[in-house]
Amino acid sequence: MEVRCVPLVQNVDPPRVAPATTRTIIPKGYGTQEQCLPFTAANSLGFLIESPITFGFCPVNEIPDGAHSFLSPVVSEAVEVSGIDLMKFYVKDDYGCNFVKNAFYQLSDTHEAMQALPGLSFFDREDQQDMFKVHLPYILRTSQNIDTLFLPAINRGHPGFTVQAGLVETDWYANSINLVLRHLPSKPSFHVVRGDPIAQVVFIDRDHRSPSLTVLPEHARETRTLLREHHKFIEELSRNRSIYKKLARGKNGFVS
């Protein structure tokens, strides 16, 4: 399947194919995550979404030099607003992609005016102060009837936030996507550098949205067949602990 990407600013970092591994250095010996086929298969689904900007959330005394710091427009009365306990967001200018003071600047379709696209934005409700948006400066277009599911980066969790899952009908949607991030209260501070993986996209056929489930009765032929396959698999697993990987790479996955 081919996915098309239309940049809205110059020098944009488009999504990249997700690799099977999550670590550059893999420990030796049996039993590492990278030897688990379900783990690596999940890692490599779809594309990784990299942060288009450098940003963070931290106490004022940890804000990097040269960064622009600011508070969310909606600030709870419980937030301490003096001293080093004050937590602020920050962004850093990136002139290479026309990102200045929390905004990308893009040419309009007539090339007569500059249109602004936020870097970070916020919800105007007090009960959603733990969430904010990261705006992706490109449009994704998929084949007809294919939706894009935006998820946290699979098996690549960030210590300071998680991504709220969202499904977008990218076969017709003609706008950029806003990732919604939620703070993790156990790790209130975080720092993200442009290019860091922050989310993952997986592509789903729209016809698969409402699957049905049938619980097979004990007397059904399919039940008996599947149970026989199950028993054969357990027997083979006792002799070869890598049997799943062997079967998955085989022609049909059956134990003969």
Say what the pTM is. 0.84
| Residue from 3, 1, 5 nearest 136 by CA | 5
Confidence at residue 245, expressed as pLDDT on a 0 to 100 scale: 80
Question: Is the predicted pLDDT of residue 252 greater than 70, yes or no?
Answer: no
Confidence at residue 253, expressed as pLDDT on a 0 to 100 scale: 57
Contact (Cβ atoms closer than 8 angstroms) between residue 190 and residue 134: no
Choice between 115 and 177, residue whose per-residue pLDDT is larger? 177
Listed in sequence order, the residues at least 6 apart from 77 whose beta carbon sits closer than 8 Å to its beta carbon are none
pLDDT band at 127 (very low <50, low <70, confident <90, very high): confident
Question: Is the predicted pLDDT of residue 77 greater than 50, yes or no?
Answer: no
Contact (Cβ atoms closer than 8 angstroms) between residue 121 and residue 146: no
Choice between 66 and 124, residue whose per-residue pLDDT is larger? 66
Confidence at residue 43, expressed as pLDDT on a 0 to 100 scale: 93
Listed in sequence order, the residues at least 6 apart from 253 whose beta carbon sits closer than 8 Å to its beta carbon are 247
Average pLDDT rounded to a whole number, residues 96-105: 93
23-69 pLDDT, tens digit each: 888 888 888 888 888 888 999 999 999 999 999 999 889 999 999 99
Confidence at residue 251, expressed as pLDDT on a 0 to 100 scale: 57
pLDDT band at 85 (very low <50, low <70, confident <90, very high): low
Strand order in the sheet with 178-183: 120-122, 131-135, 178-183, 161-163
Confidence at residue 166, expressed as pLDDT on a 0 to 100 scale: 96
Confidence at residue 75, expressed as pLDDT on a 0 to 100 scale: 65
Confidence at residue 33, expressed as pLDDT on a 0 to 100 scale: 84
User: Coil, strand, or helix at residue 81?
Assistant: coil
